[in-house]
Structures are given as structure tokens and as C-alpha cells.
């Protein structure tokens, strides 16, 4: 069975074909980074227009790369939220139109749930598993009991972790997108030069807060005189975030142990999971608990994760009608 997945919730126009046997037949991504770079962040209207321009090209390429035609596709899965609503509408409408024209099922996918389940596309992980979901818009820790059952253990009280990478990069003058830039600077700077705060890390819960850390970076940046000082500050920020993530993973592992929730694995997914410094820290923290991360290409936004959640839902005959409304906000596990 072949599922076509379409993603357009932020600044990537992506399409992929995935089979229920976990084969990724194609996975194409058009990144809008160059369109948004002059603004040092994603501009919703610019994003929506760029999706509209590229979506047909990307879907066609996904089919060509997979060596398939639309007649071979069994269902179309489209991101229907959460995200920047203009872009979501473009992708969801395109996905619905294909399903309508080919008389095949349409599956409305929650982008965050797709990140949460993406690791099952490349690894054989059974439910339940512990998950840190760390992206540009979200930062949550949960136990994933099933494709539609998420037990939230904690979440950010302010910025998401990806947002904090992006804001810190911008305020230090390193530009957009912040995550990969800061990760690179970690290797060029002195990670021990600045002692930065780790908000919420004296508390034994699984909530996060990043705005105080960002303010501390802002204050420290005013004392930076050379560009090397700024690199050192970026490196110190990266180190601090990795330590925060490890601390919170430990809290969550302890919670599962205390509550006798028998998790099969610990996972991090979402764009920030592409960060190798954070991955290494988490792997150490997990000790004997098997630790998994999707491949880097499946951490940031992509169509394969949308198609894969489509495949998981197809197996359960979970389809949606064509009047499904795109949602700018759509919490994890909200079944509508
Ligand atoms: O999952 P994603 O592609 O989009 C959302 O659903 O938000 O995540 C994007 C976020 C951005 O904030 C970006 O800076 C961050 O993921 N990111 C990273 C890395 N690559 C992307 N953060 C840290 N290190 C990276 N290597
Ligand atoms: Zn995402």
C-alpha cells in the first residue's frame, strides 16, 4: 500500500511516498529559507505564496522519484495543522483535491503527531515510548501510548526550544535558521566561557522554560566585544540547552519508573532532534533505556512523516471527509 504525504505547515514545501512496509520511496523538500532569510524569520504570507508556487512541482517530483503514478497511490495524507494557516490551507486543499479526483481516501494529519510517530518509520519501536518533542513551535515531553494517545508529562511555559535557538541566533546577529547555525558555532567557540541559567532545572518536574535563558544571552551579548566572544556565547548557549534537555529527560525517566509505566524506548523528535550535541547528551542520560532518534532528514519538516502517520491511520481505517477544516492550532492527541 502506498501513501502520498504532503507537508506545508511552515517553511518547507514537502511531499513523499511511503509504503506500509516502511519503505520511503521518495521524500522531496523545497526549503523556503532563501525567501525568508531577509526577514530573519518566517513571514506567513511569503510562506503561503511560496507553497502555492511549489506544491504541484514537489508532488510531481515525489511521484516521479518513487517511480509511481497517481493511479498507484492508495491514499493521500495532508498536514491539516497546526501551523501557519495560509500554508496549511494550500497543502490540505491540494491533498484533498487529489484524493477527490482519484476517488481515494484522504487522511488529515496533525503535524505534531507526525513528528511524534516519525521514529516508527525507521525503527521498530512498540508503544509505549517516552518522547521529547522539540520543534520550532513545540516543546513537550509525553508518553506515546498509541498513535492517538499521548500522556503529556510536561511542556514549555513560554518559548519552544527551537524558537529559543532561532531567537538567540538572531540576537547574536548570526541569522536564520538558528538551530543549525548555533550547532556549528558550538564547535568554533568556548562552550565554558559563559555560565548561563538553566530555568526550571531545580524543579523535579518535566516542564521547560526558555525565555529567561534567552534574556541571559541577551544581557551577556551586550558585554561581547569581539566576534569570537559571540561565538563563545553561542557555544555556551548550545551546551546549556543540551544540559536542560538531558535534565528533563532524566525527570521523565524517573516519572515513568515511579509510576511503573513500562516504556520500551526513549525518543527525541522534531526539528531540534537534528542537533547532535543534544542527541549525544540524551543518549548518555538514557543509560540502559534504548534511545532512538529519527535520521536527521526526518527530524525537520518532511513529507515522509506525514505519509507514515497516514499509513498508521490507513491500517486502522481512520479516514477523514473532504470538508475537514484546516486548524492553526491543534493540540497533540486532540481527536476533534
Ligand atoms: O520540526 P521543524 O522543522 O518545524 C516545526 O515544526 O517547527 O523544527 C524547526 C526548528 C527551528 O526552530 C530550527 O532552528 C530547529 O528546528 N532546528 C534545530 C536544528 N535544525 C533545526 N535546532 C537545533 N539544532 C539543529 N541542528
Ligand atoms: Zn515540524
- Listed in sequence order, the residues at least 6 apart from 79 whose beta carbon sits closer than 8 Å to its beta carbon are 6, 7, 8, 9, 88, 91, 92, 109, 110, 111, 114, 306
CATH number of 2-117+297-314: 3.30.420.40
Measure 193 CA to ligand 2 centroid, in angstroms: 32
pLDDT at position 335: 76
Q: Which atom of ligand 1 is nearest to the CA of 9?
A: 6
Measured distance CA(200)–CA(205) in Å, rounded: 8
Nearest CA to ligand 1 atom 14: 179
Q: What does the block give as the cell for 154?
A: 510536561
Asked if CATH classification 3.30.420.40 holds for the domain at 126-293, the reply, yes or no, is yes
Rounded to the nearest angstrom, the distance between the alpha carbon of 258 and the centre of ligand 2 is 31
Same CATH topology for 2-117+297-314 and 126-293: the answer is yes
What's the confidence (pLDDT) of residue 176?
87
Per-residue pLDDT of the chain (336 residues; tens, 9 = 90+): 999 999 999 999 999 999 999 999 999 999 999 999 999 889 999 999 999 999 999 999 999 999 999 999 999 999 999 999 999 999 999 999 999 999 999 999 999 999 999 999 999 999 999 999 999 999 999 999 999 999 999 999 999 999 999 999 999 999 988 999 999 999 999 999 999 999 999 888 999 999 999 999 999 999 999 999 999 999 999 999 999 999 999 999 999 999 999 999 999 999 999 999 999 999 999 999 999 999 999 999 999 999 999 999 999 999 999 999 999 999 998 876
pLDDT for 204 equals: 83
177 CA closest ligand 1 atom index = 14
| Cα dihedral sign, 137-141-145-149 | negative
| Per-residue pLDDT at 336 | 66
Q: What is the DSSP string of 237-284?
A: HHHHHHHHHHHHHHHHHHHHHHTT---S-EEEESGGGG-HHHHHHHHH
Contact residues of ligand 1, CB 6 A cut-off: 10, 135-137, 162-163, 165-166, 177-180, 183, 270-272, 274-275, 300-301
Q: Residue 292: enclosing H or E segment and its boundaries?
A: strand 291-292
In the prediction, which pLDDT does 40 show?
Answer: 85
Q: Atom 23 (ligand 1): residue with closest C-alpha?
A: 179
Alpha-carbon distance of 78 to 227, in angstroms, equals 43
Q: Whose CA is nearest to atom 5 of ligand 1?
A: 136
- Domain layout of the chain by residue ranges: 2-117+297-314, 126-293
Q: Is the pTM of this model over 0.95?
A: yes
Q: How far is residue 116's CA from residue 200's CA, in Å, rounded to a whole number?
A: 24
Task: List the residue whose alpha carbon is closest to atom 10 of ligand 1.
Answer: 136
Amino acid at each position: 500500500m502506498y501513501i502520498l504525504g504532503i507537508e506545508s505547515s511552515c517553511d518547507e514545501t514537502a511531499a513523499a511516498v511511503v509504503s506500509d512496509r516502511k519503505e520511503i520511496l521518495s521524500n522531496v523538500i523545497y526549503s523556503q529559507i532563501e525567501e525568508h532569510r531577509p526577514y530573519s524569520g518566517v513571514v506567513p504570507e511569503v510562506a503561503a505564496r511560496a507553497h502555492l508556487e511549489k506544491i504541484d512541482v514537489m508532488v510531481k517530483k515525489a511521484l516521479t522519484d518513487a517511480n509511481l503514478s497517481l493511479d498507484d497511490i492508495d491514499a493521500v495524507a495532508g498536514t491539516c495543522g497546526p501551523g501557519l494557516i495560509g500554508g496549511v490551507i494550500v497543502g490540505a486543499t491540494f491533498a484533498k483535491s487529489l484524493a477527490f479526483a482519484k476517488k481515494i481516501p484522504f487522511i488529515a494529519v496533525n503535524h505534531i503527531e507526525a513528528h511524534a510517530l516519525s521514529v516508527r518509520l525507521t525503527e521498530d519501536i512498540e508503544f509505549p515510548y517516552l518522547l521529547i518533542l522539540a520543534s520550532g513551535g513545540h516543546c513537550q515531553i509525553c508518553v506515546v501510548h498509541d498513535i492517538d494517545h499521548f500522556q503529556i508529562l510536561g511542556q514549555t511555559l513560554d518559548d519552544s526550544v527551537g524558537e529559543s535557538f532561532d531567537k538567540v541566533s538572531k540576537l547574536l546577529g548570526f541569522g536564520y535558521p538558528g538551530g543549525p547555525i548555533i550547532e556549528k558555532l558550538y564547535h568554533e567557540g568556548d562552550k565554558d566561557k559563559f555560565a548561563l541559567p538553566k530555568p526550571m532545572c531545580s524543579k523535579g518536574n518535566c516542564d521547560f522554560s526558555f525565555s529567561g535563558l534567552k534574556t541571559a544571552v541577551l544581557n551577556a551579548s551586550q558585554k561581547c566585544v569581539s566576534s569570537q566572544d559571540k561565538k563563545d556565547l553561542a557555544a555556551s548557549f548550545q551546551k546549556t540547552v543540551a544540559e536542560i534537555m538531558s535534565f528533563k529527560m532524566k525527570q521523565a525517566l524517573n516519572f515513568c519508573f515511579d509510576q511503573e509505566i513500562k516504556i520500551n524506548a526513549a525518543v527525541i523528535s522534531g526539528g531540534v532532534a537534528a542537533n547532535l550535541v543534544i542527541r549525544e547528551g540524551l543518549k548518555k542520560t538514557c543509560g540502559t533505556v534504548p534511545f532512538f532518534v529519527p535520521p536527521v532528514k526526518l527530524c525537520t519538516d518532511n513529507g515522509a512523516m506525514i505519509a507514515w502517520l497516514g499509513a498508521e491511520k490507513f491500517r486502522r481505517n481512520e479516514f477523514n471527509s473532504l470538508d475537514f477544516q484546516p486548524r492553526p492550532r491543534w493540540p497533540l492527541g486532540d481527536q476533534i
